[in-house]
């Protein structure tokens, strides 16, 4: 993905087929496809190839919490752990690398759920989007 769309999109894991949601009870979760508003995201530029990923319904951003060592959603802030590099894989596929923890990429591991992990080129760390 060279330039993220400026409309709200759904973000889908290439391997597991699950979408990212900011669930009111559970926070950031992978879930089956639906058209619920908590599954739509804005990818907003904040620097050269650096973006914030904000939920359309809750207004929360995706962060990699270094203390908890896991991806979460939280209110908007200037913290670097809420900024991501969109690393293109193909035209509509990409990886998400955290800016504060540059060795951490967002993965959806089928056993562990959403995790931050070093880039190992596995397809559970590759995402695509649907408008």
**Tens-place pLDDT, residues 28-78:** 999 998 889 999 999 999 998 899 999 999 999 999 999 999 999 999 898
Q: What is the rounded CA–CA span in Å between residue 24 and residue 22?
A: 6
- Say yes or no to pLDDT of 4 above 80: no
Q: Where are the beta strands (DSSP E) in the chain?
A: 10-13, 19-23, 27-31, 41-47, 50-55, 61-65, 70-74, 84-88, 93-98, 105-109, 113-117, 127-130
Percent of the chain whose predicted confidence (pLDDT) is above 90: 81
The two three-digit tokens of residue 129, written as one number: 């989007």
Task: State how far Cα 89 lies from the chain centre.
Answer: 15
- Say yes or no to pLDDT of 119 above 90: yes
pTM: 0.92
Percent of the chain whose predicted confidence (pLDDT) is above 70: 97
- Say yes or no to pLDDT of 2 above 90: no
Residue-level pLDDT at 5: 73
Using pLDDT thresholds of 50, 70 and 90, give the confidence band for residue 1. Answer: low
Average pLDDT score over the chain: 93
Output DSSP code: residue 123.
G
Residue-level pLDDT at 98: 97
Three-class SS of residue 84?
strand
- Say yes or no to pLDDT of 3 above 90: no
Contacts of 46 (CB under 8 A, 6+ apart): 52, 83
């Amino acid at each position: 993905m060279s330039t993220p769309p400026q409309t709200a999109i759904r973000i889908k894991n290439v391997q597991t087929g699950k979408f990212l949601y900011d669930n009111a009870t559970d926070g950031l979760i992978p879930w089956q496809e639906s058209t619920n508003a908590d599954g739509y995201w804005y990818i907003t530029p904040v620097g050269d190839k650096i973006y914030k990923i904000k939920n359309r319904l809750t207004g929360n951003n995706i962060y990699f919490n270094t203390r908890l060592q896991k991806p979460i959603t939280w209110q908007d802030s200037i913290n670097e752990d809420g900024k991501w590099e969109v690393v293109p894989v193909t035209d509509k596929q990409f990886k998400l690398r955290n800016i504060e923890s540059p060795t951490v990429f967002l993965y959806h591991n089928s056993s562990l759920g959403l995790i931050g992990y070093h880039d190992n080129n596995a397809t559970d760390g590759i995402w695509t989007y649907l408008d």
